Amino acid sequence: MDPLFDFTDKVVLVTGGSRGLGYQMVTAFSERGADCIIASRKIENCEKVADEVRARGRKAMAYAVHAAKWDELDAMVDAVYAEFGRIDILINNAGMSPAAPSEQVSEALFDSVVGLNFKGPFRLASQVAKRMNEADGGVIINVSSSGALQPLPYVVPYGSAKAALNAMTRSFAAEYGPKVRVNTLSAGPFLTDIAEAWPEEQRNGSPNAVGRNGNPEEVVTAALFLASPHSSYVDGAIVRCDGGLYLGQ
């Protein structure tokens, strides 16, 4: 095991952990010795990933949760602490980005997008950070988007919610430091299942320095870096994992 990325016996909670970037992160941490809680809407998908974690000799919990609903998030935190006694690493990864002309966005859609991308992560991070701060500390990673850093039409509620998440990262780092480190992983375009709905031209290229979209497994090292205790001087940061996206264009 590389000592820089040894997470033996660490407890990692990943929302949206049953697919996409969340699944890649669960896989990476469990391969490096961590016990994992896989949280998502559909319990059967969470159970499938939990079985994969157990097959690696690690403990796992599958938990069905709506990551925008505070009562469900609070119940999940209680359940995880009852089972594992702590959370060492929280990855706020659940999100959604439906596209629509802004004048057509309904109040229900607006609330849903902001709820999942900001309101829910705020509640979960605040409750876990409090417990981390009262114990031995920990790490929180908020998975954001390049959409928070550049003007993108048709996804204004999403980009705005992710921008709020970025601001939350810095504020939480100040509020719960030095025992709790809080950072943002700002993801660019990745070829997860969501990319299946993209036009072919968008799937085949990206306006970034590497000239392509990311493969899901390419998010792994950024997450491991932010979670590693050897990154102890990285706090309140936005770490871009977007292939050198040309922001603002």
Return the active site residues.
158
CA distance 195 to 189: 8
Closest CA to 64 of 49, 86, 53, 54: 49
Half-sphere exposure for 164 (CA within 13 Å, toward CB): 16
DSSP output for 155-196: -HHHHHHHHHHHHHHHHHHHHHTTTEEEEEEEE--B-SGGGG
Which amino acid is it at 155? V
Decide: 195 and 189 in contact? Cβ < 8 Å. yes
Other CB atoms within 10 A of residue 65 CB: 22
